C-alpha cells in the first residue's frame, strides 16, 4: 500500500528503504556542495544594456544554506539542512504552471492542447499573425515563438538564451547567442518549429491560464493541488510590480514562471517533495485523483524538437539529468541548484536546494540503492 504523508511525514532507515550504508556519506557531501551564488539573489538577475528593466521587478529574499531530502516509497529516507523554510526556487516554478494547466484540462477550460490559444484567450496577446496559431502545447513545450512585450519586457530579450544542454533547438536551423539589443536578435520562426527557453513566454503562459480561470494562479494551485497533498501554508507565488491585470473589475497579479526578474514560487524543500510525490504517483494521493494520470503522462512526452523537455518538465532523455536513472525519470529544475527529481521506476523523489552539483548528488544517492 502506498504511503502518503499527512501534516507529519514518517521516516524510515536506509536498510528498510533499500539503500546501502554509503548513503550517509553522499548526504554529508551534498550538504557541503553549496552553490557558488550570492546570498543576495538580486545579484543573480540578468543585467546589461539589453535589459530595459535593469532591476528586480518582483520580490526576492536572501537564499539559505543547502538543503535536501530523499523520499523512497513515500517515506523520508534522509534529509539535511533546513527543509521547512520557503526558498526562492527559480525555474522549478515552471512545472507548477504545468500542474495548473492540468487543472484547466480537468475543468474543461482547455479541451485540446493543440487548439489555438486565441480561441479562448482574447486579451490581445494572440491576435497578431505571428501569435494567432500558437497552441497550448506550443506554450507548454516552449516552442511557441510568441512575439510581443509583456509586463514591460520584450520577448526578444530571451531569444537565443543559453540554458542547459539544449538551450535553443530548431527543426530546420541553428542559431547563435542571445540578443544584445532589439536590432540584434534572431528572426522568429513558425510556432512549433523552434524550442527555446524563454521566461517572457512562460509568463505569457501563466497569464493565459489566469484568463481562463479568472482567478490568481496561486489560489487555483492551493485549492486543487497544494491543500489536497497536505502542503504547508508557508509557500508563496509572486509576480512583478508590473504584472497586475484586471479580472472582473478587480486588479489581480499574474505570477512569474521563475525568478528571472524576481518573483516566482517560494516553497520549502518538503513541500517540493510532496509535489514530486504527487507526480511519482501519477497524480493520485491517498486514493484521490488530484491530477489525471493521462495528464501526468502527457506532461512527460518528449518534445519532438527537444526530447529532454516535456510540458514544462525536464526529462532524462540521453541521461540529461542522471546517468543512473532510466529515461522515465524527470525533474523540475531551477537556477541555483534547485531540483525536484522523480524516478517512478524506483519510487524515488530527491529534492535539492542550492546544490553545486545536482547530477553528482542524484547519481550518488541512486548508486546506493540495492539491486
- What DSSP string runs through 170-238? ESS----S--SBTTBSPPP--TTSEEE--HHHHHHHHHHHHHHHTS-HHHHHIIIIITTTT--S--EEE
Distance between CA 199 and CA 153 in Å, rounded? Answer: 10
Residue among 310, 324, 306 nearest 360 (CA): 324
Give the pLDDT confidence score for residue 32 in this predicted structure.
97
Distance between CA 68 and CA 354 in Å, rounded? Answer: 9
Give the pLDDT confidence score for residue 168 in this predicted structure.
41
Do the beta carbons of residue 313 and residue 275 sit within 8 Å? no
Give the pLDDT confidence score for residue 185 in this predicted structure.
72
Give the pLDDT confidence score for residue 179 in this predicted structure.
44
Q: At which residue does the C-alpha cell 489555438 appear?
A: 116
Do the beta carbons of residue 76 and residue 11 sit within 8 Å? yes
Distance between CA 58 and CA 226 in Å, rounded? Answer: 23
Distance between CA 307 and CA 329 in Å, rounded? Answer: 13
CA–CA distances in Å: residue 211 to residues 105, 254, 369 = 14, 10, 45
Q: Rounded to two decimals, what is the model's pTM?
A: 0.94
Q: Residues of the chain whose pLDDT is less than 70? A: 1, 46-54, 162-184, 371
Q: Which residues face 207 on adjacent strands?
A: none
3-state secondary structure of 103: helix
Domains delineated in the chain = 14-107+214-366 (3.40.710.10), 117-208 (no CATH)
| Cell of residue 298, nine digits | 502527457
Q: What is the pLDDT of residues 189-238, one digit of tens each?
A: 999 999 999 999 999 999 999 999 999 999 999 999 999 999 999 999 99
Distance between CA 283 and CA 9 in Å, rounded? Answer: 19
Give the pLDDT confidence score for residue 172 in this predicted structure.
38
Give the pLDDT confidence score for residue 184 in this predicted structure.
57
Contacts 24+ apart (CB under 8 A), 290-294: 290/224, 290/225, 290/228, 290/229, 291/99, 291/102, 291/103, 291/106, 291/225, 292/102, 292/105, 292/106
Query: b/e map of 188-201 (b: 16 or more CB within 10 Å)?
Result: bbebbbbbbbbbbb
Do the beta carbons of residue 179 and residue 50 sit within 8 Å? yes
The alpha helices in 45-92, defined as continuous H runs, are: none
Give the pLDDT confidence score for residue 49 in this predicted structure.
56
Amino acid at each position: 500500500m502506498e504511503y502518503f504523508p499527512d501534516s507529519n511525514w514518517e521516516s524510515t532507515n536506509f536498510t528498510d528503504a533499500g539503500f546501502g550504508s554509503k548513503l550517509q556519506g553522499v548526504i554529508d557531501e551534498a550538504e557541503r556542495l553549496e552553490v557558488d551564488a550570492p546570498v543576495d539573489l538580486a545579484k543573480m538577475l540578468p543585467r546589461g544594456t539589453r535589459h530595459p528593466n535593469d532591476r528586480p521587478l518582483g520580490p526576492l529574499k536572501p537564499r539559505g544554506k543547502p538543503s535536501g531530502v530523499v523520499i523512497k516509497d513515500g517515506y523520508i529516507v534522509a534529509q539535511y539542512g533546513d527543509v521547512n523554510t520557503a526558498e526562492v526556487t527559480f525555474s522549478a516554478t515552471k512545472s507548477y504552471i504545468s500542474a495548473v494547466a492540468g487543472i484547466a484540462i480537468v475543468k474543461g477550460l482547455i479541451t485540446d492542447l493543440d487548439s489555438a490559444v486565441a480561441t479562448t484567450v482574447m486579451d490581445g496577446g494572440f491576435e497578431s499573425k505571428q501569435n494567432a496559431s500558437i497552441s497550448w502545447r506550443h506554450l507548454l513545450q516552449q516552442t511557441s515563438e510568441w512575439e510581443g512585450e509583456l509586463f514591460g519586457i520584450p520577448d526578444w530579450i530571451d531569444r537565443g538564451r543559453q540554458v542547459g544542454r539544449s538551450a535553443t533547438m530548431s527543426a530546420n536551423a541553428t542559431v547563435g547567442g542571445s540578443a544584445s539589443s532589439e536590432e540584434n536578435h534572431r528572426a522568429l520562426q513558425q510556432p512549433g518549429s523552434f524550442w527555446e527557453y524563454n521566461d517572457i513566454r512562460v509568463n505569457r503562459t501563466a497569464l493565459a491560464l489566469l484568463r481562463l480561470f479568472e482567478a490568481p494562479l496561486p489560489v487555483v494551485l492551493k485549492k486543487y493541488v497544494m491543500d489536497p497533498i497536505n502542503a504547508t501554508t508557508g509557500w508563496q507565488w509572486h509576480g512583478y510590480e508590473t504584472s497586475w491585470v484586471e479580472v472582473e473589475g478587480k486588479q489581480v497579479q499574474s505570477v512569474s514562471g521563475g525568478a528571472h526578474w524576481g518573483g516566482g514560487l517560494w516553497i520549502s524543500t518538503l513541500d517540493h517533495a510532496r509535489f514530486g510525490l504527487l507526480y511519482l504517483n501519477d497524480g493520485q494521493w491517498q486514493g484521490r485523483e488530484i491530477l489525471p494520470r493521462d495528464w501526468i503522462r502527457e506532461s512527460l512526452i518528449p518534445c519532438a524538437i527537444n526530447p529532454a523537455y516535456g510540458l514544462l518538465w525536464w526529462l532524462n532523455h540521453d541521461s540529461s539529468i542522471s546517468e543512473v536513472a532510466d529515461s522515465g525519470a524527470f525533474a523540475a529544475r531551477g537556477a541555483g541548484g534547485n531540483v525536484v527529481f522523480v524516478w517512478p521506476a524506483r519510487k524515488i523523489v530527491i529534492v535539492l536546494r542550492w546544490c553545486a552539483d545536482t547530477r553528482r548528488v542524484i547519481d550518488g544517492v541512486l548508486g546506493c540503492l540495492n539491486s
